[in-house]
Amino acid sequence: MSNPRKVALKGSDRVPLPGARPIGPTDPHQLIEISVILRHRQALAMASTSGKFLSHHEFAAQYGADPTHVDMIRKFAEQSNLQMLERGDEVLRRTVTLAGTASKMEKAFGVELIDYDHPDGNYRGRTGTIQIPEEIAPVVQGVFGLDDRPVAKPHFRYRGNSRAFGTRASNIAYTPVEVANLYQFPQDVNGAGQVIGLIELGGGYRPADIQEYFQSLGLQPPQVQTLGVDQAKNRPSTADSADGEVMLDIEVAGAVAPGALIVTYFSPNTSRGFQDALSMAVHDQLRKPTVISISWGGPESTWTQQSMQNFDEVAQEAGLLGIAITVAAGDNGSSDGLSDGQNHVDFPASCPHVMAAGGTRLLTANSSITSETVWNDGAQGGATGGGYSTVFARPAWQTNDVSQSTRGVPDVAGDADPETGYKVQVDGQQLVVGGTSAVAPLWAGLIALLNQKLQSRIGFINPLLYQMEESTCFRDISLGNNGAFSAAPGWDPTTGLGSPQGIQLIQAVEEMMSQQGVNQQTRSHSSS
């Protein structure tokens, strides 16, 4: 066993970032932490739409990692002179953390680590595939952390950066409360008893900003807690940083559901950080999020296959636990910001086990919607993401709406045009912001209100949404395009099913769950 036969880890291929320049080998003494993801004990079941969900204990027993597989990685670590950092949730999260020097990591995983210079910052990278011992290959699904390049971008845009056409410039802006009222969110619930998790790959918030902002809205500030993942922390700096993303998420979700607890999961902007952040949030047994909002992403073609597969599997785990996940669909139209002449959708919005949120331009008069069209301010101003995945097959619940054979994005929509944007406060500044980053927490807040109404977790809601009567539950967007794709009656790859008509949507969910025989007692028991 001193020199075991190694095989390539499927889906782990890496190439340097475009524009990256190799500086030289990574310092062999540099300490590195990685996450090794193990396979499930058995294949994951479909998420329930009947209000019956697993507890974390039940999930670990049925679907968590096999303890003997954890022992196999422990033995591999010892033989490779790596340290296993035990957290106690290895079986539940199927994640084993290993630490060691760069030289030991290179030897253990058959890689060469190189430091790269890049316009967006230096990073430690690798090329080719990760190699793992043949003995553990059947139980390992992913290895993350050897390469620490940035993988995602926040999907928000300040109004000042969005004006592509002078004629489109406007003074229209709404508070999140006004947007919720326009979309007829229910007024008799406030998200009490719900927990909204926010995944943040950078930036931070200042409690004084939160206090001041919600006082200006006449609302009690929500309770906000922070959990650091992989040594990340809440690190606010300036308004032109990722602070804009963090504050937008908190302020939109908190304004829609001020009674909910908001938990921000800060992690490094790496494939390991993103994977671990979602896994930590989904399996947070202390705070127990009921809905998770993600406003970060990047084109599918920039991710490894192992990243997309493993991330989507954690999203599927969320559904079994009764947790909904909302994800911004991207702000760069049908190309998703790439200049290769091809159409691309944003990941993780393209995951089949999340609700992808696209963007609209929202005009009003006398507190009523007068016009809602696809958000598209041109190449520089931004446009809603949308299109068809090249990775994930079309889910069964999209069969009647999506003509192509792959996952259609987005599922739903909401106001995202910075020219009809949201009034926020970031690092002491009053700003107007847009982007599909606003739509993900908007829908997360609505789901929190829905959960409170039902006195239960709704969990993975997409199968129910696609069964609804669109004319009453959604405002169908039929004008505009995001580049290659145009709006059309019914679902389309610009704004999905449309923007929410909150009260009608909640009533439809209640009726569906009632028809499935979910009584109050069962729901209350399943959410405890």
Of 432, 421, 292, 262, give the one whose Cα is nearest residue 355: 292
pLDDT band, very low/low/confident/very high, at 162 (cuts 50, 70, 90): very low
Per-residue b or e along 238-254, where b marks 16 or more CB atoms closer than 10 Å to that residue's CB: ebebbbbbbbbbbbbbb
Residue 193 has a pLDDT of 97
Residue 395 has a pLDDT of 97
Q: Considering the chain, what percentage of its residues have pLDDT values greater than 70?
A: 95
Residue 164 has a pLDDT of 40
DSSP letter (8 states) at residue 369: E
Q: Do residues 384 and 416 lie in contact, with contact meaning Cβ atoms separated by under 8 Å?
A: yes
Residue 515 has a pLDDT of 78
Choosing from 106, 209, 249, 313, the catalytic residue is 249
pLDDT in tens, 465-488: 999 877 789 999 999 999 999 999
Query: Which residue type, as a one-letter code, is found at position 64?
Result: G
pLDDT band, very low/low/confident/very high, at 48 (cuts 50, 70, 90): confident
Please determine, for residue 259, whether its predicted confidence score (pLDDT) is greater than 80.
Answer: yes
For 274, phi and psi rounded to 5 degrees?
A: -65, -45
Distance in angstroms (rounded) separating the CA atoms of residues 364 and 172? 9
All domains of the chain in start order, with CATH = 6-144 (no CATH), 153-526 (3.40.50.200)
pLDDT band, very low/low/confident/very high, at 514 (cuts 50, 70, 90): confident
162 counts as catalytic:
no
Residue 520 has a pLDDT of 41
Q: Do residues 160 and 170 lie in contact, with contact meaning Cβ atoms separated by under 8 Å?
A: no
Choosing from 48, 437, 499, 527, the catalytic residue is 437
pLDDT in tens, 340-365: 999 999 999 999 999 999 999 999 99
Choosing from 148, 209, 230, 245, the catalytic residue is 245
Of 175, 179, 127, give the one whose Cα is nearest residue 149: 127
Please determine, for residue 166, whether its predicted confidence score (pLDDT) is greater than 90.
Answer: no
Q: What is the mean pLDDT of the chain?
A: 94
- What 3 state SS string does 439-484 have? HHHHHHHHHHHHHHHHCCCCCCCHHHHCCCCHHHHEECCCCCECCC
List % helix, strand, coil for the chain (3-state, nearest 5).
Answer: 30, 25, 45
437 counts as catalytic:
yes
Is the peptide bond prior to 150 cis by the omega test (within 30 degrees of 0)? no
Distance in angstroms (rounded) separating the CA atoms of residues 358 and 409? 8
Of 141, 174, 165, 245, give the one whose Cα is nearest residue 203: 245
Please determine, for residue 298, whether its predicted confidence score (pLDDT) is greater than 90.
Answer: yes
For 264, phi and psi rounded to 5 degrees?
A: -95, 125
Q: Do residues 259 and 191 lie in contact, with contact meaning Cβ atoms separated by under 8 Å?
A: yes
Of 149, 124, 140, give the one whose Cα is nearest residue 35: 140
Residue 2 has a pLDDT of 59
Which helix (H) or strand (E) is 292 found in, with range?
strand 291-294
Distance in angstroms (rounded) separating the CA atoms of residues 444 and 442? 5
Say what angle helices 243-256 and 207-216 make with each other, to 10 degrees: 40
249 counts as catalytic:
yes
Query: What ranges in 40-95 are assigned the alpha helix state H?
Result: 56-63, 67-79, 90-93
Residue 469 has a pLDDT of 75
